């Protein structure tokens, strides 16, 4: 029976599991053993994982795979990917192999500026607020000198603060828009600490500003927080080759290129298609972000907002043919870090970064963008040739067989049978049933 509880976070892990089993898992007698079988036998490592979040019960495993043969700016990479979806790693690997023979991927960081805002209410004279801001701006910057001392030593820190009048969109709404360079750190804690100090200093100085005392209105800070929309922190990745090198089986290169470019144009035009198109890109991007201990939710939110920057949601990739050359590229905002956070705590994150040759944040931006471009190329290549399900269902076959508790012998026979047969859940179920009936 479901029940309320107080002080849950103060209970031991075993006590939490016992309570959960009693009140929510009565119909699942194996639940406790399942939860505990995912505990790490290394107590120190398990404690490290327990400390990542509150109320930890166990670990939730996802596959950690490798997509090799990525040639990026003439450097060869094997890219770690953490994802549960069938065919993603295989698709990325196939795309990497395809472009390895055609000069590889090019990638460049366009900019690395991150931002945050102090959101305020003010219903008084706009000119007076602007005058006050110009007067107090040097004090705002001085107030974070200690906070940004180490960041400045490395070449980063606060870049600028500007007052933005947003009252046309929302009555009485102003922002202090602040920009930052955080180098190899994602910088969320640094940015938020600076913003909160700015807000505190701004309000303290406003208290002493005579003109505000004469008004019925006074600038009031509502909240101070970084933004995960980072259109000034972007990276571009691209590939190109002669159209003649794009032939796929019976499909000539020019026909393939024409259909491929048209598929991207459709995703530029039709939102319903664009969402699925970009989701496929994020299969590659998210998998590398999770493997390297970065915040995939922040990246997802920022990327999808970027896809809408022109007034409607559209493809993140662009394709064209010019003078017989096929060009395919992606431009995405990526605020990533290779120091701090999980990058210095999670053992598998450390391994992932070592596999990537310990990249800087800029290098990681390039690698992640390439992973997204490769994933999109692989998906579109399937869509305009054999169809998406042929390759995907071959990878999904093992999931279906595992759901049926197929033996090693049954798996081998099923894999052989479905090399040429159409794979579906019902077809696999029938095949295994017939095997077991014989």
Residue 51 is a catalytic residue? no
pLDDT of residue 412: 77
Q: Which of 114, 366, 392, 396 is catalytic?
A: 392
pLDDT of residue 26: 83
Taking a C-beta distance cutoff of 8 angstroms, is the pair 428, 436 a contact? no
Q: Which of 36, 279, 312, 416 is catalytic?
A: 279
Last residue of a domain, one of 185, 202, 226: 226
DSSP 422: P
If asked whether residues 371 and 271 sit together in one domain, one would say yes
pLDDT of residue 200: 98
pLDDT of residue 391: 54
If asked whether residues 119 and 157 sit together in one domain, one would say yes
CATH at 339? 3.90.770.10
3-state SS string over 7-45? Answer: CHHHCCHHHHHHHHHHHHCCCCCCHHHHHHHCCCCCHHH
If asked whether residues 240 and 370 sit together in one domain, one would say yes
Q: What domain count does the chain have?
A: 4
Question: Residue 404's domain spans which residues?
Answer: 391-437
Full-prediction pTM beyond 0.75?
yes
Residue 13 lies in a domain: yes
Residue 2 lies in a domain: no
**Residues of the chain below pLDDT 70:** 1, 216, 388-396
Label residue 437 exposed, middle or buried (CB < 10 Å: 0-12, 13-18, 19+): exposed
Q: Which of 205, 295, 314, 363 is catalytic?
A: 295
Report strand pairing: 114-121 vs 325-333: unpaired
Rounded to the nearest 5 degrees, what angle is found at the Cα of 15, between the Cα atoms of 13 and 16?
65
Residue 364 lies in a domain: yes
Give the other-Cβ count within 10 Å of 37's Cβ. Answer: 9
If asked whether residues 340 and 366 sit together in one domain, one would say yes
pLDDT of residue 395: 61
357 Cβ neighbours under 8 A, 6+ residues apart: 75, 77
Residue 392 is a catalytic residue? yes
pLDDT of residue 390: 57
Residue 207 is a catalytic residue? no
pLDDT of residue 388: 58
Residue 236 is a catalytic residue? no
Q: Which of 11, 50, 85, 254 is catalytic?
A: 85
If asked whether residues 265 and 369 sit together in one domain, one would say yes
If asked whether residues 306 and 273 sit together in one domain, one would say yes
């Amino acid at each position: 029976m479901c029940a309320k509880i107080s002080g849950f976070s103060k209970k031991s892990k075993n006590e939490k599991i016992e309570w959960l089993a009693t009140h929510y898992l009565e119909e699942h007698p194996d639940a406790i053993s399942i939860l505990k079988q995912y505990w790490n036998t290394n107590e120190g490592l398990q404690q490290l994982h327990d400390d990542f979040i509150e109320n930890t019960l166990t670990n939730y495993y996802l596959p950690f795979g490798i997509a090799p043969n990525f040639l990026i700016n003439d450097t060869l990479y094997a890219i770690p990917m953490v994802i549960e979806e069938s065919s993603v790693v295989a698709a990325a690997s196939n795309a990497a192999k395809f472009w390895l023979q055609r000069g590889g991927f090019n990638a460049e960081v366009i900019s690395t500026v991150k931002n945050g805002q102090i959101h305020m209410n003010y219903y008084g004279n706009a000119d007076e607020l602007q005058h006050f801001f110009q007067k107090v701006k040097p004090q705002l910057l001085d107030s974070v000198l200690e906070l940004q001392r180490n960041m400045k030593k490395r070449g980063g820190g606060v870049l600028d603060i500007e007052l933005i009048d947003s009252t046309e969109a929302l009555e009485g709404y102003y922002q202090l828009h602040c920009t930052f360079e955080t180098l190899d750190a994602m910088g969320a804690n640094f940015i938020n600490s600076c913003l909160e100090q700015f807000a505190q200093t701004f309000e303290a100085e406003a208290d002493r500003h005579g003109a505000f005392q004469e008004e019925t209105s006074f600038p009031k800070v509502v909240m101070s927080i970084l933004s995960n929309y980072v259109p000034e922190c972007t990276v571009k990745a691209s590939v190109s080759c002669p159209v003649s090198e794009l032939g796929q089986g019976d499909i000539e290169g020019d026909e393939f290129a024409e259909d491929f470019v048209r598929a991207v144009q459709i995703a530029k035009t039709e939102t319903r298609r664009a969402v699925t198109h970009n989701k496929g890109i994020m299969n590659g991007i998210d998998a590398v972000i999770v493997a390297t201990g970065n915040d995939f939710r922040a990246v997802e939110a920022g990327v999808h907002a970027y896809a809408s920057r022109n007034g409607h949601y559209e493809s993140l990739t662009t394709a064209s043919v010019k003078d017989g050359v096929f060009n395919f590229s992606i431009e995405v905002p990526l605020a990533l870090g290779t120091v701090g956070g999980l990058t210095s705590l999670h053992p598998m994150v450390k391994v992932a970064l070592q596999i990537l040759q310990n990249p800087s944040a800029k290098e990681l931006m390039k690698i992640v963008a390439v992973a997204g471009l490769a994933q999109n190329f692989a998906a579109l290549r399937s869509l305009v040739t054999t169809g998406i399900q042929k390759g995907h269902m071959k990878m999904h076959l093992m999931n279906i067989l595992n759901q049926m508790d197929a033996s090693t012998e049954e798996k081998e026979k099923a894999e052989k049978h479905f090399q040429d047969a159409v794979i579906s859940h019902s077809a696999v179920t029938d095949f295994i049933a017939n095997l077991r009936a014989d």
